[in-house]
Structure 1
Amino acid sequence: MHPRRGGRRSTTKLPPKKAPPPAAPARDSSARAGPLEARSGRDRWRNIDEEDTEPVQPRFRPQRDVGPQLNRTAHYTPLELFQLFFTTTVIDTLVKNTNTYGAKKCQGQREGWVPVTAADMYSYISLVLYMGIVPLKTLKEFWRGSTLFSLPFPASVMPCRRFLAISRSLHMNDPAKEAANDQKKGTLGFDKLFKIRPLYDQILEACHSHFHPHQHISIDERMVASKARFGFKQYSRNKPTKWGFKLYVLADSRCGYTLNFFVYVGKDGEPTGKGISYDAVMRLLNIPFLGRGYKLYVDNFYTSPTLFLDLLTRKIWACGTIRSNVTGFPKAKTNNMPEKTPRGTIRWIRKGALLFVKWFDCREVTMCTTMHKAYSNEMVSRKVKNKDGQWIVNHMPIPGCVKDYNKHMGGVDLSDALIGYYNVLHKTQRWYKTLFYHFVDIATVNAFILHKEMCKMQNRPVGTQKSFREELILSLAQIVAAARSCVVCKRKSPIYCSTCHKTLCLTTLRNCYSKWHRSNNICV
């Protein structure tokens, strides 16, 4: 009978309960991908004696012939190559907007604005390039006639007052349009780079049009020094230039040609939600006529499994250093680097198309790649001390991804070095003028690279960048001299009347200056 509620319990003994099974040991977080992946051993770091599958290598299919997009049998002068970037349209834009701003600035002043001509702008750029080769502390020192500062070239091209007047009024956009843009501050329609927009767009188009990259390309940051006050000034701890403009740059790894770039102004456009570095790479690669099969190299700021897999869908393979805290990086600890790791130690994990590699040199180097296998029997030499304290050469294994990264990552650094040799940057409190000078640097270096590539294709000797710039400066000055012919005798003359805006001779043999003014009833 059933026991009554509140009564005594039945004394019938039940069979003893089975003890619960022991708790399973904690599994590595990298094994969460599933039982098949766990059984295949992908949740542990592998050694170099374990064979990796080499990924399918890209078939390089550029949409144009790589190299200069020019007549490959023609001989181009430095001036003709420079004018591919600073075209007559660019010069006319600079002249028009500089005159507009200069006239507005000089209203009500005793000395009115003397209009700038195309010849004046060529003269100005010639001297800007000259000052990069012969640097002095201040601009006025280039026109000093003392024994220590006897430089006849600047005075033969343009008077000091004229050069400084153009520098103060230099403008790349219409001042009236700039004022309208300023009214949009705080709205989505406001363009932070509006002051440089016309020249910015024209230089970018020229960079795309006149050169097609080889298979290896790289992306990196570039800092342009500036002490001006502007809202998008950046600080870069790891760059020689700490404060200034930050540019994201795509360059050809073989020659350093600047293919594409943009000035970072903060959050711009509609973000994808995948990070600033992801958006920067996709924006730089969005250039016409690129093609497929490219090999891209980036540093750990840009590298992520998401980016590399998305690049594969666009037929672009990638390789770069990677941070271990990036989403998608393997969390496996099994067979990881030991505490005291000998140099040359390699560990790797493959996850589909992605290969993650750790290599110990002086420190641990961590890589991610979609184009390499873990180890291809390649070696590298290092000088080390033996037990007796003597330096000896030691050969140790190196992953192919590290070797290729060291070889091809320096495209932007090469471009920066070529710019840095003869940098034309002047001190200025106007941020848009700083970028104007940098655009001159980009145009000159890209023109020089085109010159080098054309010389190699035509088996002609390649000169130095300095000799290229010297010839360019003289050619620009000759344009100025050709444009400055006397209105009376038609001979070349450096004398320019700011009152009647005419070029006139004033020498011991010819006095066209007085003759012109007398014939026009102008008192001098």
Structure 2
Amino acid sequence: MFTRYYQPQKDICVDETLVGTRGRTAMLQYIPSKHSKFGVKFWVLAESATGYIVRMSCYLGKKFQPVTSGVCQETSVELDLLRESELLGRGYHVFCDNFFTSVELAKALLRMGTFLTGTIRSNRRIPSTIKEANVLPGNTIFMRQGRILLAAHKGMERKRPVRLLSTAIPSDLSRGVPAMVSAYNKNMGGVDGADMQFSFYSNMRKSLKVWKKMAFHILQRMLLNSYVLYKSNTSEKAMSRLQFIQEVIEGLALRHLNELDCPTIPVQPRQTPEKTKLVKLAGHLQKDCSVCSDRALGIRRRSRMVCQKCRKGVHISCKRQHKCSEE
């Protein structure tokens, strides 16, 4: 559905996101690196530049989604997302983290006309030169097999080298940093960027109903995608995302009222009462406070301050309770 009105750019990324909930469900996952830690996990395919969600897939857990024999989970997840989005064989460049990246996945995507770049774990099937690389700070080791390029790079401030795989980026260096590292840092944040934008105007509420959390999450994803569509198709100065959300809500509410044939009542602007201004009496003159003084009850409290309009005595502490007779 998300690819019907929008064609994503060449660089896309695959990552996971978590819908935070502590409700009872077999789909509940624990991911300590996420803000919510507990929740329902979604596999997400997004455009790197804008964070536009191309495809989402809910992970149901091992009980309902057992791993197919002979195929790794990360490989099947990424291939399914690309296949269901109809992006395979069209020259797209996929960026992913070390959970997904493997030599087997890179070969499978190459056969389908799709490129891959990502970090790779040292326990994957890679040459020992890269797996056990003892790299000095600021240096890089490259290995190539056909279109597949492996690298082990150690930054000046890192204690351990980072290992990467790419089937599209050459072994170029820019100021000692491989081109694949720069490309990965630039294009891998699509899903995380969408999560960040999503959190700014989130309407999530506390609820133990898991289906309710998931439904509202999907609706907000659709709203975020619609804002990306709006920005990419408007020729005028784009409104802010908050203004866009308000316009969508008002438009849906007006449409609902029109369907019910309800007369619309114009909203009157709220009038804020003027604040009481106090002035000091000349000399040592005093007047009874109009708020806390009552001679009928034998309570006499005098003030040297009076209201500027009605000229009645008012203590500074009674200013808020004073009702001016001139208003």
TM-score bracket, normalised by the shorter chain, equals 0.7 to 0.9
In the alignment, is the contact (CA less than 8 A) between 2:13 and 2:46 conserved in 1?
yes
Q: How does 1:307-456 map to 2 (within 5 A)?
A: 307-327=105-125, 329-332=126-129, 336-338=133-135, 341-342=136-137, 344-361=138-155, 362-363=157-158, 364-374=161-171, 376-379=172-175, 397-455=176-234
The residue type paired with residue 345 of structure 1 is N
Cα-to-partner distance string for 1:118-170 (whole Å, 9 max, x where unaligned):
xxxxxxxxxxxxxxxxxxxxxxxxxxxxxxxxxxxxxxxxxxxxxxxxxxxxx
In the alignment, is the contact (CA less than 8 A) between 1:272 and 1:279 conserved in 2?
no
Cα-to-partner distance string for 1:213-239 (whole Å, 9 max, x where unaligned):
110000000011112111110011222
In the alignment, is the contact (CA less than 8 A) between 2:45 and 2:55 conserved in 1?
yes
Cα-to-partner distance string for 1:436-488 (whole Å, 9 max, x where unaligned):
10111111000000001112xx3x211211110011111122123323436xx
2:26 pairs with one of 212, 227, 231: 231
TM-score, normalising length: structure 2: 0.75
Please say if 1:283 is aligned against 2:62. no
Higher relative contact order (CA 8 A, sep 6+): 1
1:253 pairs with one of 33, 39, 48: 48
In the alignment, is the contact (CA less than 8 A) between 2:130 and 2:150 conserved in 1?
no
Question: Which residue of 1 is the match for residue 59 of structure 2?
Answer: 264
Q: How does 1:7-406 map to 2 (within 5 A)?
A: 206-267=1-62, 268=65, 271=68, 273-290=70-87, 291-327=89-125, 329-332=126-129, 336-338=133-135, 341-342=136-137, 344-361=138-155, 362-363=157-158, 364-374=161-171, 376-379=172-175, 397-406=176-185
Cα-to-partner distance string for 1:254-290 (whole Å, 9 max, x where unaligned):
1111000111012427725221111110111013542
Unmatched runs of 5 consecutive residues or more in structure 1: 1-205, 380-396, 495-524
- Write 1 or 2 for the structure with the bigger share of strand: 2
Alpha-carbon shift at residue 492 of structure 1 (Å): 4.1
Q: Distance in 2 between matches of 1:301 and 1:335?
A: 19
Q: What SS does the aligned partner of 1:208 have?
A: coil
RMSD: 2.1
Q: Distance in 2 between matches of 1:355 and 1:333?
A: 11
The residue type paired with residue 151 of structure 2 is V
Is the alpha carbon distance of 1:424 and 1:307 closer, same or farther for their aligned partners in structure 2, counting shifts above 3 Å? same
In the alignment, is the contact (CA less than 8 A) between 1:207 and 1:259 conserved in 2?
yes
Question: Which residue of 1 is the match for residue 273 of structure 2?
Answer: none
Q: Distance in 2 between matches of 1:333 and 1:247?
A: 31
Is the alpha carbon distance of 1:218 and 1:330 closer, same or farther for their aligned partners in structure 2, counting shifts above 3 Å? same
Unmatched runs of 5 consecutive residues or more in structure 2: 267-327
Q: What is the identity percentage for the equivalent residue pairs of Structure 1 and Structure 2?
A: 30
Please say if 1:476 is aligned against 2:265. no
Q: What SS does the aligned partner of 1:406 have?
A: helix
In the alignment, is the contact (CA less than 8 A) between 2:122 and 2:131 conserved in 1?
no
Q: Distance in 1 between matches of 2:260 and 2:142?
A: 68
Question: Which residue of 1 is the match for residue 278 of structure 2?
Answer: none
Is the alpha carbon distance of 1:281 and 1:335 closer, same or farther for their aligned partners in structure 2, counting shifts above 3 Å? closer
Q: Distance in 1 between matches of 2:52 and 2:173?
A: 32
The residue type paired with residue 237 of structure 2 is P
Question: Which residue of 1 is the match for residue 240 of structure 2?
Answer: 464
Q: Distance in 2 between matches of 1:245 and 1:482?
A: 37
Is the alpha carbon distance of 1:484 and 1:493 closer, same or farther for their aligned partners in structure 2, counting shifts above 3 Å? farther
Question: Which residue of 1 is the match for residue 303 of structure 2?
Answer: none
Matched positions, count = 260
Q: Distance in 2 between matches of 1:218 and 1:335?
A: 28
Cα-to-partner distance string for 1:467-513 (whole Å, 9 max, x where unaligned):
10011111122123323436xxxx4479xxxxxxxxxxxxxxxxxxx
Q: Distance in 2 between matches of 1:427 and 1:335?
A: 47
Q: Distance in 1 between matches of 2:152 and 2:130?
A: 12
The residue type paired with residue 418 of structure 1 is Q
The residue type paired with residue 276 of structure 1 is Q
Q: Distance in 2 between matches of 1:372 and 1:323?
A: 19
The residue type paired with residue 109 of structure 2 is L
In the alignment, is the contact (CA less than 8 A) between 1:299 and 1:322 conserved in 2?
yes
In the alignment, is the contact (CA less than 8 A) between 1:256 and 1:411 conserved in 2?
yes
Q: What SS does the aligned partner of 1:337 have?
A: coil
The residue type paired with residue 474 of structure 1 is E
The residue type paired with residue 217 of structure 1 is I
In the alignment, is the contact (CA less than 8 A) between 1:485 and 1:492 conserved in 2?
no
